[in-house]
Amino acid sequence: MCTAISDNSGRHLFGRTLDLEYSLSEQAVITPRGFELNFLREPPLTRHLAIIGIAHVFGGIPLYYDAANEAGLAAAGLNFGGSAVYSEPSSSTHNIASFELIPWVLGQCKSVGEAAELLKGTSIIADSVDASLPATPLHWLIADRTGAIAVEPIADGLKIREDPFGVLTNEPPLDYHLTNVKNYTSLNATPPKNTLCPDVKLEPYSRGMGAIGLPGDLSSSSRFVRAIFAKSHTLPEPEQNAAINRFFRIMDTVSVPRGCIITDEGKAVSTVYVSCADTETATYYFSTYGNRSIHSLRLSDANLDSSEIFAETI
């Protein structure tokens, strides 16, 4: 349960909500160029692009939920529980576990094009960060200021495709959402015209009626459509602070007040955090469910040639 957005209306901003029924002490984490990135089945990257993002630090290793690198490439992993199918390791490809994908890509790639190329030669395998647990089922939105791709490991293989909306939520695979959104093409921010019954005068009774039909629930398909509507109709803000604020306002429309989703097990889901990376300055902005103020961390706040991660609780 998450929504990721890549927005190019002004500066490139990339971020996401994390919607869960629990929290894992997320931190804003900088991985400098000299921190050795280890992989279960690949040689380590001893020197790589610096990365900033939100992660759960486990055994000293940042497990990134979403991040950006110093070259302006960003990525977010989102729950994909019904469709994710991981591969068997293959001798003809790189073999990367789902929890390793973000450092694998952001450590090496400077653009969406490079990421797509790297992933074409990569198998995503079912290894888990903790051998006693199954691998987290994920799909990813990867974007830079030129565009976005969705990366989805499904039964048919690893699908890498352009995401023209720069939006990703959860199940089903992107193909469904790209069709489903066509059910909402006539929504608008302006007042509706009367084509129902032109013979009778029908005036709107309220502002905002041009978007009647926009779904308001918190399912993945409704958040997908709502994110597109909000991203497409919220006016660009040239000023930097206003642009960041705009991004969080868009995210508010897909966020989960605690309890508005109850899981099968009776647990209350909420939007644990919202993040927003300005990929040009490698600055990470974030707020949490309990603290709606926006805080930030800048990649340049850390010594990028260090070999130690820098982490602060959000």
Helix (H) / strand (E) containing 65: strand 61-69
Binding-site member from 22, 88, 134, 205 for a second copy (CB under 8 A):
205
The nearest distance, CB 49 to a second copy, in angstroms, is: 30
Whole-Å CA distances, 48 to 51, 52, 58: 9, 13, 20
The nearest distance, CB 298 to a second copy, in angstroms, is: 20
Binding-site member from 36, 38, 58, 82 for a second copy (CB under 8 A):
82
Residue 75, both tokens: 């990525």
Instruction: Determine the Cα–Cα distance for residues 80 and 213; give it in Å rounded to an integer.
Output: 26
**Which residue lies nearer to a second copy by CB, 93 or 180?**
180
- Name the nearest CA neighbour of 297 among 280, 274, 314: 314
Which span sits near a second copy by CB under 8 A: 10-18, 134-142, 206-214, 278-286? 206-214
The nearest distance, CB 307 to a second copy, in angstroms, is: 36
Residues 143-202 that bind a second copy (CB under 8 A): 164-165, 170-172, 176, 179-200, 202
Binding-site member from 13, 37, 76, 228 for a second copy (CB under 8 A):
228
- What does R_g of the chain's alpha carbons equal in angstroms? 20
Contact flag: residue 23 with a second copy (CB under 8 A): no
Instruction: Determine the Cα–Cα distance for residues 261 and 244; give it in Å rounded to an integer.
Output: 27
| Phi, psi for residue 124 in degrees, rounded to 5 | -95, 120
Binding-site member from 58, 263, 280, 312 for a second copy (CB under 8 A):
263
Residue 7 bridge partners (DSSP):
13
Residue 245 bridge partners (DSSP):
none
Q: Decide: 214 and 226 in contact? Cβ < 8 Å.
A: yes
Which span sits near a second copy by CB under 8 A: 87-95, 124-132, 142-150, 244-252? 244-252
**Which residue lies nearer to a second copy by CB, 49 or 149?**
149
Instruction: Determine the Cα–Cα distance for residues 87 and 24; give it in Å rounded to an integer.
Output: 27
Q: Decide: 54 and 29 in contact? Cβ < 8 Å.
A: yes
Which span sits near a second copy by CB under 8 A: 86-94, 102-110, 118-126, 291-299? 291-299
Contact flag: residue 113 with a second copy (CB under 8 A): no
**Which residue lies nearer to a second copy by CB, 121 or 213?**
213
276 is catalytic: no
- Total of residues contacting a second copy (CB under 8 A): 90
Binding-site member from 222, 296, 300, 303 for a second copy (CB under 8 A):
222
Instruction: Determine the Cα–Cα distance for residues 127 and 46; give it in Å rounded to an integer.
Output: 22
Contact flag: residue 256 with a second copy (CB under 8 A): yes
Residue type, 146: T
Residue 97 bridge partners (DSSP):
125
The nearest distance, CB 76 to a second copy, in angstroms, is: 17
> Which distant-in-sequence residues (6+ apart) come within 8 Å of 161 by Cβ?
149, 150, 152, 174
Binding-site member from 217, 280, 308, 312 for a second copy (CB under 8 A):
217
Binding-site member from 220, 275, 279, 283 for a second copy (CB under 8 A):
220
Residues marked active site are found at: 2
